[in-house]
Amino acid sequence: MKYRIVSDSTSNIFQLSDVSYTCVPLKIITAEKEYTDAPELDTDGMIEDLKNLHGKSGSSCPNMHEWMEAFGDAELVFAVTITGALSGSYSAAVQAGEAYMEQHEGARVMVLDSKSAGPEMQMLVEKLRECVLAEMTFDQIREVICEYQKHTHLLFSLESLTNLANNGRVNPVVAKAAGFLGIRLVGRASDEGTLEPLHKCRGEKKALEMIRSEMRQNGFQGGKVRIAHCQNPSAAAALEKLILQDFPSSQIEILACAGLCSYYAERGGLLVGYEDPA
């Protein structure tokens, strides 16, 4: 049976070795320009453009046809989307899966709402890759990934929530606190897939310490950690060091946010995916 893993670009993953994989791009839109979240996007240039923008900006998700095209000719498809609570990507992928199965007799499609974004999505995609390479059946993979999702989490540290607030993703009152007199907002992706503020921290160092504390309180004992940053590699490295001090067995990878995650995390933002013991 021919498998394919698909995610939207909020996963920050454009290539995946040893398995059939496709990434469906989201877009960042202004009155003057449209940025497609793909490998060729100049993310730093986009961030600079948006910094100087005086008008409105927004994002758009893939439509049903774009998802169907990404499924290719696979017989078994696993698709992972950004949280359905904040984007229409999940709904479009579900519609695409239903239409695809109607048009391809015997095909099976599972669409997984990550209830999250960025590094937690990355971890779910990586787990799917492990399952496919282990030659599990479709039903076995579905069972494993649903169980694994119960043990993955996302934390974030943001110094600006302007784009999130302007696009209705967070309360404008909460957004005003971030960046004010050096305040950084630390929060998490809730079980419902919304962004939940947890702490207002004075300075980056305090925010990183709070992330480590939240991980520990939520059961982290050393394991997989994925850190995505928006033009802030020094903070990502500092957080890695803090985590390894307490949990030296942690498997940590750091990457730069792609377009959509950069748009919402904004300059200086960190997104942290991690797993608790299964």
pLDDT above 70 (res 177): no
- Helix then strand then coil, in percent of the chain rounded to 5, is 40, 25, 35
The contacts of residue 138 (CB under 8 Å, 6+ apart) are 1, 76, 108, 110
Supply 274's token pair: 């991690």
The contacts of residue 13 (CB under 8 Å, 6+ apart) are 7, 21, 23, 121, 122, 125
pLDDT of residue 67: 98
Q: Encode burial over 48-86: b for 16+ CB neighbours within 10 A, e otherwise.
A: ebbeeeeeebebebbbbebbbebbeebbbbbbbbbbbbb
Closest C-alpha among 260, 256, 214, 215 to residue 237: 256
Instruction: Please provide the average confidence, as pLDDT, over all residues in the chain.
Output: 95
Closest C-alpha among 115, 94, 74, 89 to residue 24: 89
pLDDT above 70 (res 61): yes
Q: How far is CA 254 from CA 65, 122, 175, 230, 233, in A?
A: 32, 12, 26, 11, 8
Q: For 94-123, what is each residue's pLDDT tens digit?
A: 999 999 999 999 999 999 999 999 999 999
pLDDT of residue 180: 67
Contact 256, 236 (CB under 8 A): no
pLDDT above 90 (res 1): no
Provide DSSP, 88-125: SHHHHHHHHHHHHHHHSTT-EEEEEE-SS-THHHHHHH
pLDDT above 90 (res 277): no
Contact 16, 7 (CB under 8 A): no
Q: For 130-146, what is each residue's pLDDT tens digit?
A: 999 999 999 999 999 99
